[in-house]
Chain A
């Protein structure tokens, strides 16, 4: 049986904000503001080990549950044009194992007095974590049960 070892997806998200492009850009550039909205989830505790908003700079977030690091997100800024665009990569791993990464391109477009934000998320998810194997086994048996139910129905 051949296993596909990665999956790719591209997702474009758009939001319109009342704030000006300069205001939205500042909310990305200021590490204190970025921390407020950039937390992956309310349930996990985040430790910010680095926040370096400049080309080549690195953002490091550790996601903690019960004092243990469950995932690390390493962002690196590749292109920053003030008030216009930010391009960066985000690499997500659980301890010792790569889970996936995204190329994140954010465009800040004027829309009246506000901003249309166009975020393009190009993601690759990779296979190889033990956690995934467990979940995959659960999926296989669920799919088999579904298949069985459908045939007997």
Chain B
């Protein structure tokens, strides 16, 4: 995978967009039971394969699933929840820094008042 430098707000937007569609939620629900091929995932839906692949791509772009081509079969896997947790750790760490910079501003303003 290419260098990942996704700001967490953007990845949240992608995540919510990905989950805002019934087909994509059903794919996620199916993948909680284990990995599956694109053909298996597409079978329940009355949808042309290219349209279904669009849904797969949205889920992949949001980081919710990964896909891997094995021979002629593309297999989809739900990205482990620990990834969501790592993302959460980074978000909390970034929030700590945002608060520190705000507090720095308050302290600088207070110093200005007393000078």
Which residues of A does B touch, CB under 8 Å? 1-4, 6-11, 13, 15, 17-19, 23-24, 27, 33, 36-41, 92, 99-100, 102, 104, 117, 119, 121-123, 125-127, 132-133, 135-137, 139-140, 142-144, 147-148, 150-151
Secondary structure class of chain B's binding surface, majority of residues: helix
- Shortest beta-carbon distance from A32 to chain B in Å: 11
B17 at interface (Cβ–Cβ under 8 A)? no
Nearest residue (CB) in B for A138 is: B81
Chain B residues with CB under 8 Å of A136's CB are 80-82, 84-85
Query: Are A13 and B28 in touch, CB under 8 angstroms?
Result: no
Whether B29 pairs with A150 at a CB distance below 8 angstroms is yes
Does the CB pair A100–B89 fall under 8 Å?
Answer: yes
Residues of chain B with a CB closer than 8 A to A37's CB: 100, 103-104, 106-107
Q: Could you list some 19 contacts between A and B, CB below 8 A?
A: A1-B77, A7-B86, A8-B5, A13-B97, A15-B101, A18-B108, A19-B108, A37-B104, A41-B96, A92-B93, A121-B94, A127-B82, A132-B85, A133-B82, A139-B82, A139-B84, A139-B85, A140-B32, A150-B25
Cβ < 8 Å to A, chain B residues 4-43: 4-8, 22, 25-26, 28-30, 32, 35
Contact for B93 among A38, A100, A148, CB less than 8 A = A100
Q: How far is the CA of A18 from the CA of B106 in the complex (A)?
A: 10
The reply to whether the CB of B3 lies closer than 8 angstroms to some CB of chain A is: yes
Question: How many residues of B are counted as interface, with CB atoms below 8 angstroms from the partner's CB atoms?
Answer: 45
**Contact A10–B96 (Cβ < 8 Å):** no
B104: chain A residues at CB < 8 Å are: 15, 17, 24, 27, 37
B3, B8, B22, B99: the one within 8 Å of A150 (CB): B22
On whether the beta carbons of B29 and A125 are closer than 8 Å, the reply is no
Kindly state the separation between the CA atoms of A137 and B84 in the bound complex, as whole angstroms: 11
Can you list, as one digit per residue, whether each of B42-55 has a CB less than 8 Å from chain A (1) or not (0)?
00000000000000
The residue from B86, B108, B111 contacting A125, defined by CB atoms under 8 A apart: B86
- Say whether A9 contacts B101, CB under 8 Å: no
B-side contacts of A117, CB under 8 Å: 101
- Quick check: B111 and A40 within 8 Å, CB to CB? no
CB-CB under 8 A from A33, the residues of chain B are 107
Q: Return chain A residues, CB-CB under 8 Å to B8.
A: 9, 11
- Quick check: B94 and A11 within 8 Å, CB to CB? yes
Interface centre among B35, B82, B100 (most CB of A within 10 A): B82
A-side contacts of B4, CB under 8 Å = 7-9
A19–B107 Cα distance when bound, in Å, is 10
Cα A143 to Cα B25 with chains together (Å):
10
